Amino acid sequence: MSWATHAIEGLQAGKTVQIRPHGNSMNGKINSGDLVTISPCTPEVLKPDDIVLVKVKGNVYVHLIKAVDGERYQIGNNKGGINGWVGTHAIYGKVVRVEP
Protein backbone atom coordinates (compact mmCIF):
# COMPACT_ATOMS: atom_id res chain seq x y z
CA MET A 1 0.00 0.00 0.00
CA SER A 2 1.37 3.39 -1.03
CA TRP A 3 1.90 6.14 1.55
CA ALA A 4 -0.75 8.10 -0.36
CA THR A 5 -3.44 5.40 -0.73
CA HIS A 6 -5.64 6.75 2.08
CA ALA A 7 -5.36 10.32 0.74
CA ILE A 8 -6.16 9.27 -2.84
CA GLU A 9 -9.20 7.27 -1.71
CA GLY A 10 -10.47 10.23 0.31
CA LEU A 11 -9.97 12.67 -2.57
CA GLN A 12 -11.72 10.34 -5.01
CA ALA A 13 -14.65 10.25 -2.56
CA GLY A 14 -14.79 14.07 -2.66
CA LYS A 15 -13.18 14.66 0.75
CA THR A 16 -10.42 17.07 1.77
CA VAL A 17 -7.49 15.15 3.27
CA GLN A 18 -4.31 15.84 5.22
CA ILE A 19 -0.92 14.15 4.85
CA ARG A 20 2.63 14.67 6.09
CA PRO A 21 4.87 13.95 3.09
CA HIS A 22 8.58 13.36 3.61
CA GLY A 23 11.46 14.31 1.36
CA ASN A 24 13.36 17.39 0.28
CA SER A 25 12.33 17.90 -3.34
CA MET A 26 9.72 20.51 -2.44
CA ASN A 27 11.73 22.44 0.20
CA GLY A 28 10.83 26.10 0.17
CA LYS A 29 7.18 25.32 -0.52
CA ILE A 30 6.68 22.16 1.56
CA ASN A 31 9.28 20.98 4.05
CA SER A 32 9.62 17.34 5.02
CA GLY A 33 6.95 16.44 7.57
CA ASP A 34 4.79 19.55 7.09
CA LEU A 35 1.03 19.05 7.42
CA VAL A 36 -0.39 19.38 3.90
CA THR A 37 -4.11 19.83 3.26
CA ILE A 38 -5.31 18.65 -0.16
CA SER A 39 -8.74 19.20 -1.68
CA PRO A 40 -10.40 17.63 -4.69
CA CYS A 41 -10.31 19.92 -7.73
CA THR A 42 -11.43 20.19 -11.31
CA PRO A 43 -8.92 20.55 -14.15
CA GLU A 44 -10.22 24.03 -15.06
CA VAL A 45 -8.75 25.52 -11.86
CA LEU A 46 -5.24 24.07 -12.28
CA LYS A 47 -2.41 26.36 -13.36
CA PRO A 48 1.39 26.51 -13.26
CA ASP A 49 2.83 26.76 -9.72
CA ASP A 50 -0.12 24.89 -8.18
CA ILE A 51 0.96 22.00 -5.97
CA VAL A 52 -0.92 18.76 -6.57
CA LEU A 53 -1.07 15.15 -5.43
CA VAL A 54 -0.30 13.37 -8.68
CA LYS A 55 0.79 10.05 -10.15
CA VAL A 56 3.58 10.21 -12.73
CA LYS A 57 5.03 7.07 -14.33
CA GLY A 58 3.70 4.88 -11.52
CA ASN A 59 4.97 7.09 -8.67
CA VAL A 60 2.85 9.36 -6.46
CA TYR A 61 4.18 12.82 -5.63
CA VAL A 62 3.16 16.09 -4.04
CA HIS A 63 4.73 18.24 -6.74
CA LEU A 64 4.29 21.38 -8.79
CA ILE A 65 2.50 21.92 -12.05
CA LYS A 66 5.28 23.43 -14.16
CA ALA A 67 3.33 23.97 -17.40
CA VAL A 68 -0.11 23.39 -18.90
CA ASP A 69 -0.75 22.35 -22.51
CA GLY A 70 -4.48 21.88 -23.06
CA GLU A 71 -5.42 18.95 -20.82
CA ARG A 72 -1.81 17.94 -20.18
CA TYR A 73 0.20 19.03 -17.16
CA GLN A 74 3.97 19.02 -16.78
CA ILE A 75 4.89 17.95 -13.25
CA GLY A 76 8.12 18.72 -11.40
CA ASN A 77 9.65 19.47 -8.03
CA ASN A 78 10.76 22.75 -6.44
CA LYS A 79 14.42 22.14 -7.30
CA GLY A 80 14.06 22.29 -11.08
CA GLY A 81 13.45 18.59 -11.65
CA ILE A 82 10.81 17.46 -14.15
CA ASN A 83 8.84 14.23 -13.67
CA GLY A 84 6.94 14.30 -16.96
CA TRP A 85 3.55 15.08 -18.49
CA VAL A 86 0.23 13.72 -17.19
CA GLY A 87 -3.44 13.98 -18.08
CA THR A 88 -6.19 15.14 -15.76
CA HIS A 89 -6.84 11.54 -14.63
CA ALA A 90 -3.45 11.46 -12.86
CA ILE A 91 -4.10 14.49 -10.64
CA TYR A 92 -5.94 13.56 -7.45
CA GLY A 93 -6.15 16.92 -5.69
CA LYS A 94 -4.69 20.37 -5.14
CA VAL A 95 -2.78 21.53 -2.07
CA VAL A 96 -4.75 24.26 -0.33
CA ARG A 97 -2.70 24.70 2.87
CA VAL A 98 0.73 23.87 4.26
CA GLU A 99 1.49 24.03 8.00
CA PRO A 100 4.61 23.07 9.98
Contact 47, 35 (CB under 8 A): no
Does residue 1 have a pLDDT over 80? no
pTM of the model: 0.96
Closest to 3 measured CA to CA, from 26, 19, 24: 19
**11-56 tens-digit pLDDT:** 999 999 999 999 999 999 999 999 999 999 999 999 999 999 999 9
Average pLDDT, the chain: 96
Please count the other Cβ atoms lying within 10 Å of the Cβ belonging to residue 65.
20
Q: Which domains are seen in the chain, by residue range?
A: 5-99 (2.10.109.10)
Closest to 82 measured CA to CA, from 72, 67, 97, 96: 67
**65-99 tens-digit pLDDT:** 999 999 999 999 999 999 999 999 999 999 999 99
d(CA 28, CA 24): 9
